Amino acid sequence: MASLETDLSEPIPVNGDAGFMARMRRVRRLVAVLTAMDIKIKYGDSVLGYVWTIGKPLALFSTLYVVFGRLTRFPNTPPHYALYLVIGVMLWTYFADGVTRTMNSLVTNGNLMRKLPFPRLVIPLAASLTAFVTFGLGLLAIAFFIVWNGFVPQLDWLLLILEMLELYLFILGLGLVLGVMYVRLRDVAQVWELAMQLLFFLAPIVYPFTVVPTRWRQIMLLNPFTQIMQDVRAILIYGGPKSEIMAHATYTLSPLRIIPLLIVAFTLGLGFYLFKREEPWFPERV
């Protein structure tokens, strides 16, 4: 904690290019320190530690797979359903954890903000990166099922980098918007919890996307999370973005394809705008 307080209270130049670069280095350092601290607090005193990061979503996956993959089968169950399902569960776990962590970060770090002057933005940035780092362990589960199903890495898989970047920016933007609202109104946490339950079933995490009528698929794909999840599945399972089996082929060539990207950009921009506007009052409201 002493090292953290030293980093937070360290003065830096404020004028010229040197001052700007110094501020950027300071923000980067603070984000790294807070991220490491968050991870250590969450897993440092746990017997199983990081195993819980992958254990919880795998337990959910196992339950869903037994119920919907073995006991009750969907019509038109997609090939490699286990991989289809684990991709959805792992991405959903990351999305829900990332938004929730970012939303809560300002309130849970209220004492820190009241004690020390530092760029407040590093708090939600660190929270979102903590979720991203822990999601890295979830990728091990996806990698296992990829190997189990005999898939060979393809050049198209590099597109997954863009998909993960889009998902991270969406998580950060949505977390900032909800976080600013949460500072003012604590009921936001309860509303978000209910919204997550609804969003889980509105996204084709468990059920095959092909069971949804075509006209509803286009509407569902306006949700950036659904678009990203289906893109990842298409790239890994169905042979890349040009595959005819691709789950979002119903609007791949449509102008609607850009709408999820615009929603991500709008959410991120709104989050930064609200954060900047409300930042001066955070210490006294949290």
Which tens digits make up the pLDDT trace of 104-161? 999 988 887 887 777 888 899 999 998 998 898 888 888 999 999 889 888 889 999 9
What does the pLDDT look like over 181-239, one tens digit per residue? Answer: 999 999 999 999 999 999 999 999 999 998 888 888 888 989 999 999 999 999 998 77
Contact between residue 13 and residue 105 where contact means Cβ atoms under 8 Å apart: no
Pick from 58, 269, 31, 29: nearest CA to 145: 58
Q: How far apart are CA 284 and CA 282, in angstroms?
A: 6
Q: Enumerate the domain spans of the chain.
A: 49-285
Rg, Å, the chain Cα set: 21
Structure tokens at 267: 């959410």
E strands, 69-140, in order = none
pTM for the predicted model, two decimal places = 0.85
Cα–Cα distance between 135 and 147 in angstroms, integer?
19
> Do 173 and 270 contact (CB within 8 A), yes or no?
yes
